[in-house]
Chain A
Amino acid sequence: MVDEIAIIGAGMHPWGKWGRNFVEYGVAAISDALTDAAVDYRDIQFVAGADTMRNGYPGYVAGATFAQAMGWTGIPVTSAYGACASGAMAIEAARQRILAGLCDVALVVGADTTPKGFLAPQSGERWTDPDWLRFRLIGATNPTYFGLYARRRIDLYGATEDDFAAVKVKNARHGLNNPYARYRKEYTTEEIMASPIVADPLRLLHICATSDGGAALVLASMDWARAHGHANPVRIKAVSTITPTFPNTVIDMPGFSTDSAAGVPAPERTFKQAIGDAAYAQAGIGPEDINVAEVYDLSSALELDWYEDLGLCEVGGAEQLLRDGDTTIGGRVPVNPSGGLSCFGEAVPAQAIAQVCELTWQLRGEATGRQVDNATAGITANQGLFGHGSAVIVSR
């Protein structure tokens, strides 16, 4: 088990398609997080920024960009990039610094401004870049991979299109009253089924959009938190930023293939299962202790995979868990009470931080309109391109 650190402030800028500089969203989120923590920025001792790749140089050096925007104070910064896992990497950078005793209180921030449509690779002729080649040679977009996973659930576990729609209906309802969500609208199964196929069996309303948004956290050592008026803060018990173990036998974006298992036997647990395992091991708790989860529903079907990967049910049991209402607010282990990516769309560097913001509010009992009763432990999960695991366990 690893020592805990405190989350003393959480803040977000509403998700949307605002078309403004990403720095504005980040600064708004920082301001809210600092107010929430009752901390003056000049007392922050370290800034960890999660990078965006779509906003030029300031996005590559997000830590410095936000430190400059808040007014230089001479403190060290870091900028983290791990695709969709960038936010978790930034949280981990701040946590390590606090646990090492190198600082008492740190700021974590991520924000993005996104273009419309499919996420596309960098332009130019990039014949050694798999992310470019998969578009060129196969026309494989990100939803292609989501479609492959979804189809396998149908053929192996008897998932139905109604199940995928039920995930969307649930998340849309969860996010209805979330002031930070971009889409606050209920959907019927019929509306979802009427939306066009993007990557069979997935339809447009099953696939998450890309959004602008920003999220920030103020983290502190437990001693510093208590000495500054936070008697019983939400704690971070684990951060899992693991990579796969060779051979990785589940095809992942943006690859053309899996690793081969002909030489070295495949590990017992898949990469996504291992992401949760590592977090549970660090926290010293198990899936049975979790009462709320925020997972990456890049597609509605992918949320079902996460139920199993995080051990909320056995492999092949996700549809039943969903149908029993266990993952709906009021059920045994509500998943995506925020509304998830279904209601937010993805703001890549902010999203993993936003997941932790939501769990912080849930565990404090401040998630108005979407509150999970008596939540004491929660887990977040996502997986970034190119082998980046991301899971955070919080408790109170």
Chain B
Amino acid sequence: MTHTRVAAIEGWFTLDDEPHLLGTRCSESGTFYFPPETTMSRAPGCSAATLEPVQLSRIGRVWSYTNAGYKPPPPYIAMTDPHVPFVIAAVELIEERIVILGQMVSGVTVDDLAVGDEVEVVLDTLHFDDDGNEVVVWKWKPTGRRAEGAQ
């Protein structure tokens, strides 16, 4: 059975095979925003700047990681019963100099990771909705490389 893929939230990531997180960039300071900031640049003195839509780098390195040993409370929608622990990583995008949270793809455990590991952004199932659609969200997937200069 194939499911229609729908984004868990509109406008935060692309739905193609090599997905990108979607952000904005302050035209004056060059600061990046994720989730995309559309109201006003938060960089001090840049209130008149425009916020340009940008695709963020697909590759980053692990700033830190942990897991969810217990099922998170609602509004989290659990995929499995009983709960299977999943890993959450904070990942630094080098060019954008921003750290972004996300789940790791299923199958990755904390024992597989170290601070500095390289990961890429992919789409993976968050849950299935009442209409049988596959609701997808961004997750991080190890590339198997360790970023240079990582710490």
B-contacting residues of A (Cβ < 8 Å)? 117-118, 120-121, 123, 125-127, 132-141, 143-144, 147-152, 155-156, 196-202, 246-247, 249, 251, 255-264
Q: Would A152 and B26 count as touching, CB distance under 8 A? A: no
Complex Cα distance, B29 from A262, in Å, reads 8
Complex Cα distance, B103 from A136, in Å, reads 12
The smallest beta-carbon distance between A278 and chain B, in angstroms, is 18
Q: Would A117 and B73 count as touching, CB distance under 8 A? A: yes
CB contacts (< 8 Å) of B69 on chain A: these are 196-200
Given known pairs A121-B75, A264-B43, the reply for A259 and B98 (CB within 8 Å) is yes
Q: Which of B26, B64, B98 has the most chain A CB within a 10 Å cutoff?
A: B64
In this assembly, does B86 line the interface, its C-beta being within 8 Å of a C-beta of chain A? yes
CB contacts (< 8 Å) of B34 on chain A: these are 256-257
Given known pairs A138-B101, A147-B67, A262-B97, the reply for A251 and B32 (CB within 8 Å) is no
Q: Which of A144, A197, A257 contacts B88 (CB 8 A)?
A: A144
Q: Would A262 and B98 count as touching, CB distance under 8 A? A: yes
The smallest beta-carbon distance between A2 and chain B, in angstroms, is 26
Given known pairs A247-B31, A260-B98, A264-B29, the reply for A120 and B115 (CB within 8 Å) is no
Q: Would B115 and A140 count as touching, CB distance under 8 A? A: no
CB contacts (< 8 Å) of A260 on chain B: these are 31-33, 96-98
In this assembly, does B90 line the interface, its C-beta being within 8 Å of a C-beta of chain A? yes
Q: Would A262 and B30 count as touching, CB distance under 8 A? A: yes
The smallest beta-carbon distance between A199 and chain B, in angstroms, is 5
Question: Nearest chain-A residue to B32 (Cβ)?
Answer: A260
The smallest beta-carbon distance between B3 and chain A, in angstroms, is 19
Question: Nearest chain-B residue to A248 (Cβ)?
Answer: B42
Q: Would B43 and A144 count as touching, CB distance under 8 A? A: no
CB contacts (< 8 Å) of A132 on chain B: these are 75
8 shortest interchain CB distances as A-B pairs: A147-B66, A263-B29, A263-B31, A263-B30, A139-B72, A155-B115, A260-B98, A197-B69
The smallest beta-carbon distance between B145 and chain A, in angstroms, is 17
Q: Would A155 and B114 count as touching, CB distance under 8 A? A: yes
Q: Which of A118, A126, A150 has the most chain B CB within a 10 Å cutoff?
A: A118
Q: Would B35 and A246 count as touching, CB distance under 8 A? A: no
CB contacts (< 8 Å) of B137 on chain A: these are 137-138
- Can you name 9 A-B pairs with beta carbons within 8 Å? A125-B75, A136-B75, A151-B65, A152-B63, A199-B66, A262-B95, A262-B98, A263-B26, A263-B43
Given known pairs A148-B64, A156-B115, A249-B99, the reply for A197 and B85 (CB within 8 Å) is yes
Q: Would B73 and A118 count as touching, CB distance under 8 A? A: yes
Q: Would A151 and B70 count as touching, CB distance under 8 A? A: no
Report whether over half of chain A's contact residues are helix, strand or loop; otherwise say mixed: loop
Complex Cα distance, B74 from A126, in Å, reads 12
Complex Cα distance, B74 from A144, in Å, reads 15
The smallest beta-carbon distance between A305 and chain B, in angstroms, is 12
Question: Nearest chain-B residue to A261 (Cβ)?
Answer: B97
CB contacts (< 8 Å) of A117 on chain B: these are 73
Q: Which of A138, A151, A255, A257 contacts B64 (CB 8 A)?
A: A151
11 additional contacts, CB 8 Å, given A148-B65, A148-B88? A117-B73, A120-B74, A135-B75, A140-B101, A150-B66, A155-B116, A198-B69, A246-B44, A257-B35, A257-B99, A259-B31
Complex Cα distance, B95 from A276, in Å, reads 31
Q: Would A139 and B103 count as touching, CB distance under 8 A? A: yes
Q: Would A134 and B101 count as touching, CB distance under 8 A? A: yes
Question: Nearest chain-A residue to B67 (Cβ)?
Answer: A200
B73-88 to A contact mask, C-beta < 8 Å, 1/0: 1111100000001101
Given known pairs A138-B101, A200-B110, A260-B32, the reply for A118 and B72 (CB within 8 Å) is yes
In this assembly, does B9 line the interface, its C-beta being within 8 Å of a C-beta of chain A? yes
Q: Which of A144, A246, A261 contacts B42 (CB 8 A)?
A: A246
Complex Cα distance, B8 from A216, in Å, reads 45
Question: Nearest chain-A residue to B44 (Cβ)?
Answer: A246
Q: Would A136 and B76 count as touching, CB distance under 8 A? A: yes
In this assembly, does B6 line the interface, its C-beta being within 8 Å of a C-beta of chain A? no
In this assembly, does B40 line the interface, its C-beta being within 8 Å of a C-beta of chain A? no
Given known pairs A118-B73, A152-B63, A200-B67, the reply for A137 and B31 (CB within 8 Å) is no
In this assembly, does B102 line the interface, its C-beta being within 8 Å of a C-beta of chain A? yes
CB contacts (< 8 Å) of B32 on chain A: these are 260, 262-263
CB contacts (< 8 Å) of A247 on chain B: these are 31, 43
B134-150 to A contact mask, C-beta < 8 Å, 1/0: 00010000000000000
Q: Would A127 and B95 count as touching, CB distance under 8 A? A: no
Complex Cα distance, B77 from A246, in Å, reads 34
Complex Cα distance, B42 from A126, in Å, reads 22
The smallest beta-carbon distance between B12 and chain A, in angstroms, is 8
Complex Cα distance, B151 from A263, in Å, reads 22
Complex Cα distance, B141 from A374, in Å, reads 54
Complex Cα distance, B70 from A196, in Å, reads 9
CB contacts (< 8 Å) of A249 on chain B: these are 97, 99
